[in-house]
Amino acid sequence: MKSCFNHPEKKAHSICHGCGKDYCELCLDEGKEFYYCRNPECQILLKKELYTDVLPANTICPNCKSGLELSEDERISGKVHCPECEALIDFKVNPPKVLNRENYVELLSSLNQGDIGLIKSILGNSNIDYYVFGENFLSVDPLIQPARFYVNESQEEEAKELLKDFKLHIWGTSKNQYD
């Protein structure tokens, strides 16, 4: 009998589709098709499985009318930064709303895909209003353009507090915008 990775005394219910380890029922979340454990990386995969059809992969910028290709994260978050007119658009409301970028402050930037995923899950799990700009460039042009995290200025302190410990971890690989 296989046992749970977290609870050696419990019988494993299934494997996590993300990391492939065995877990008990308590340690797993059910997606549409697969089970996922609570690791931040695996939770991101779960969210992708659950929410990919929230927004289409291609849409039109309501501000400048140019065609937009959305990343998976943009489709999940609903917040899109138009590379043409630089507008930030919230597609979660109908009709989509062009947000006032002045209300958002740059929190930090990172070139590391693993860190980016982790920061997203930390902010997302705490319901921080954030968006990422430049992430689409990573796949095309790695190490040239960092992904930049912006948070709603009303939640800036809260976000900094959440990432306080994390900041040490990314030291050296990322440029921080605050001390």
Residues that bind Zn ion (CB under 5 A): 4, 6-7, 16, 18-19, 24, 26-27, 37, 39, 42, 61, 63-64, 82, 84-85, 87
Helix, strand, or coil here: 14?
strand
Q: How far is CA 111 from the centre of its chain?
A: 14
DSSP calls for 42-93: HHHHHHHHHHTTSS-SEEE-TTT--EEE--HHHHHH-EEE-TTT--EEETTS
Q: Compute the CA torsion angle 152, 155, 158, 162 (nearest 10 deg).
A: -30
In the bound complex, what is the minimum distance in angstroms from residue 177's beta carbon to Zn ion?
25
In the bound complex, what is the minimum distance in angstroms from residue 170's beta carbon to Zn ion?
22
User: Given the complex with Zn ion, which of 26 and 154 has the nearer CB atom?
Assistant: 26
User: Given the complex with Zn ion, which of 16 and 44 has the nearer CB atom?
Assistant: 16
User: Given the complex with Zn ion, which of 40 and 158 has the nearer CB atom?
Assistant: 40
In the bound complex, what is the minimum distance in angstroms from residue 16's beta carbon to Zn ion?
3
